Amino acid sequence: MFTLHGSGIGGGIAIGSARIIRRAGQEIPEFAIAAAQVGAEIARLKQAFARARATLQKIRDALPPDAPEELDSVLGAHLMMLADPALSEQPSNLIRQRQINAEAALARHAEKLVAAFKEIRDPYLSGKSADVAQVMDRVQGELLAAPGALSEQSEGALAGEIIVANDLTPADAVDLKRHRIGAFITNLGGPISHTAILARSMRIPAIVGMHGAIRYLRTGDLLVVDGKRGVVLVNPDAAAVATYQRRREKIRRRAQQLDGLREADAVTLDGNAVSLFLNVELPEEISACAAQNAHGVGLYRSEFLFMNRQRMPAEEEQLAAYADVVRRAQRPVTIRTLDLGADKQVDGGRAMDAVATNPALGRRAIRLCLHDLGLFRPQLRAIYRASAFGSLRIMVPMVSNMEELNQLFALLAQVKQELSEEGHAFNAAVPVGGMIEVPAAAIAADLFARKLDFLSLGTNDLIQYTLAIDRVDDEVNYLYDPLHPSVLRLIKHTIEAGKTAGIPVSMCGEMAGDVTYTRVLLGMGLREFSMEPASLLEVKRQIRLTDVSKIKSQVAAMLQTAEPDHIKRMVDEINA
Ligand code: PEP
Ligand code: MG
């Protein structure tokens, strides 16, 4: 028995047998061909491209109506690559010049092309190397007529199995849904890769970025997958299996018990009413709003609409997406304006600060939007136009100085004027709020609050910027501490600034969905929380078990403490 670690995407625990999905291209035959065969070999290569295209088109056409929009655009991008004659030109030349078989020529060219993409310093473009590899693999699969592809398995053949792959394409993911698999693990991929996004939408245990998964696992191995912690137990003994079976049962029972809280109010024992909102990345997640009986959406991360595609969505496409979200939510939706830049890059022909020395401190979020009105204006127009279809709020990320707000409000006034002149229906009084995620904004929250209709604490970034630790840098992750007194003081100050100005303050960073901090935050006066759907009922339960009047003095004492061990003990006492 041994364990492997990766990035857990969530979804609980699965116990099952491993099924390694090997891609075509891992063992490629290479041999010389006769000069007379060259023409036929090139024709065979081109037919493989055509078949790969036809197969992918079939998969795209069969997408279910509730499939994430990203999926369709990624399949579209792969189809476009396959349609480009330049992609088959180089391998055809290799067949001609070296007189080798089509598989070998394709493999050599694919290797070169993927390596070239990886060398590009722009992380988004270098990330595209995975798409290129997937497209080339698909063609290689056609050449080899590789058996074992997911699409060739009969329906349900993989039910309950744990799929292990180097990487999974979105097309594979559609198949996985059909097969009702138990879990999946990939060597590659980050937590916001397409694969991860789909895993979340499928709500099955999944782990990505588990380097070594393909090397160390064999088909038939018994695996325990802990999707929350990102841990896999390989061929565990009976005692370990029994432990995880009990844990799985406990998770299931707990989820069942929590279900009973759906209709219950989020009110503390001493009568403080709390509003619980959801964080949403993909439009189809909106259905969770009604399912969880949430007050609304506290954070709709609109930048996901702009990712994984060749062209930026135009105003009309954005309008359709926002209007759909607002209509389906049937409760207020807070649309966060584009938070691109830093680790969230897109292409679509727009240069971002991917190569900046410190991208997280660079032209990100509102800075990028105010710099590029061609990007920002259509979004604001689309959001206002969507306000005719339901209740929404505009929320601006990474505000750090008042001039940004002045520019924003001037732009909003222009946009509203334009829309009125064009005769569009919209709500001119859409509330406009700002995210407090930079210490400068938190420290001066009282001043910012005078201009804004609401504030929302983005603790993921507030912690990053306050403690000077890059969110995406593994080496300093250990310093990430929501209970650091500086972080707690900034949160407290922001909550009080909102109270003084008479505007609501919510929290939409991960801290809001972690039940460890619920009481501390209630004790500091927070009454609006926004989080991933899976955390909502658990947080509600904790709220209903909390007497704020009893913990207030303990929380106040915490803010006067600097020793981490002491703070942890205090939190344990508060949560006891
Ligand atoms: C945050 O920073 O806390 C936040 C909610 O925004 P994001 O995680 O999208 O940066
Ligand atoms: Mg943020």
* Token output for 70: 């990203």
CB 213 within 8 A of CB 186: yes
By three-state DSSP, how is residue 186 classified?
A: strand
The pLDDT value recorded for residue 329 is 93
Average pLDDT, the chain: 88
Strands 13-21 and 162-165: what pairing? parallel
CB 399 within 8 A of CB 405: yes
Atom of ligand 1 nearest to the CA of 459: 3
* Token output for 222: 């018994």
Q: Is the Cα dihedral 65, 67, 69, 72 positive or negative?
A: negative
Q: Does 140 or 41 have the greater pLDDT score?
A: 41
CB 576 within 8 A of CB 544: no
Measured distance CA(198)–CA(63) in Å, rounded:
13
C-alpha of residue 279 to centroid of ligand 1, in Å: 10
Residue 489 CA to its chain's centroid (Å): 29
Question: Per mean pLDDT, which of 98-112, 176-190, 441-455 is the most reliable?
Answer: 441-455
Q: Does 380 or 76 have the greater pLDDT score?
A: 380
CB atoms within 10 A of CB 39: 11
The pLDDT value recorded for residue 351 is 45
In this prediction, residues 248-270 reach a mean pLDDT of 92
In this prediction, residues 57-76 reach a mean pLDDT of 83
> If we measure between CA atoms, which residue out of 256, 295, 208 comes closest to residue 508?
295
The pLDDT value recorded for residue 204 is 84
The pLDDT value recorded for residue 472 is 66
Atom of ligand 1 nearest to the CA of 510: 3
- Look at the chain and count its residues: 576
Ligand nearest to the CA of 507: 1
Measured distance CA(318)–CA(325) in Å, rounded:
11
Would you place residue 149 in the very low, low, confident or very high pLDDT band (cuts 50, 70, 90)? low
In this prediction, residues 91-104 reach a mean pLDDT of 91
Express as a percent the part of the chain with pLDDT over 70: 89
CB 439 within 8 A of CB 428: no
Ligand nearest to the CA of 508: 1
Q: Angle formed by the axes of helices 170-179 and 194-202, to 10°?
A: 20
Q: Is 299 in the pocket of ligand 1 (CB under 6 A)?
A: yes
Strand blocks (E) in 219-326? 222-226, 231-234, 275-280, 296-301
Side by side, the strands of the sheet bearing 162-165 are 2-5, 231-234, 222-226, 13-21, 162-165, 183-186, 206-208, 7-10
Pocket test for ligand 1, best of 508, 521, 526 (most atoms within 8 A of CB): 508
By three-state DSSP, how is residue 436 classified?
A: strand
Express as a percent the part of the chain with pLDDT over 90: 55
Residues 6+ apart with CB under 8 A from 402: 447, 448, 451
Query: C-alpha distances in angstroms, 429 versus 376, 412, 413?
Result: 19, 11, 11
Atom of ligand 1 nearest to the CA of 457: 3
Atom of ligand 1 nearest to the CA of 437: 2
> If we measure between CA atoms, which residue out of 460, 332, 318 comes closest to residue 394?
332
Q: Is 459 in the pocket of ligand 1 (CB under 6 A)?
A: yes
> Does this model's pTM top 0.85?
no
Residue 395 scores a pLDDT above 50: yes
CB 145 within 8 A of CB 124: no
Q: Does 60 or 242 have the greater pLDDT score?
A: 242
pLDDT in tens, 505-534: 999 988 998 899 999 999 999 999 999 888
The pLDDT value recorded for residue 190 is 63
pLDDT in tens, 421-450: 999 999 999 999 999 999 999 999 999 999
> If we measure between CA atoms, which residue out of 212, 188, 244 comes closest to residue 13?
244
Across 55-64, 193-202, 309-318, least confident range: 193-202
In this prediction, residues 140-156 reach a mean pLDDT of 63
Q: Is 301 in the pocket of ligand 1 (CB under 6 A)?
A: yes
C-alpha of residue 239 to centroid of ligand 2, in Å: 42
Rg (alpha carbons) of the chain, rounded to whole number: 26
The pLDDT value recorded for residue 147 is 40
Residue 551 scores a pLDDT above 90: yes
The pLDDT value recorded for residue 152 is 58
In this prediction, residues 160-184 reach a mean pLDDT of 78
Residue 403 scores a pLDDT above 50: yes
The pLDDT value recorded for residue 269 is 98
Measured distance CA(13)–CA(501) in Å, rounded:
46
C-alpha of residue 3 to centroid of ligand 2, in Å: 33
The pLDDT value recorded for residue 312 is 87
C-alpha of residue 466 to centroid of ligand 1, in Å: 14
Active site residues: 194, 508
Would you place residue 264 in the very low, low, confident or very high pLDDT band (cuts 50, 70, 90)? very high
Domains of the chain: 2-22+148-256 (3.50.30.10), 35-142 (1.10.274.10), 260-575 (3.20.20.60)
pLDDT in tens, 341-376: 776 666 544 545 555 678 889 999 999 999 999 999
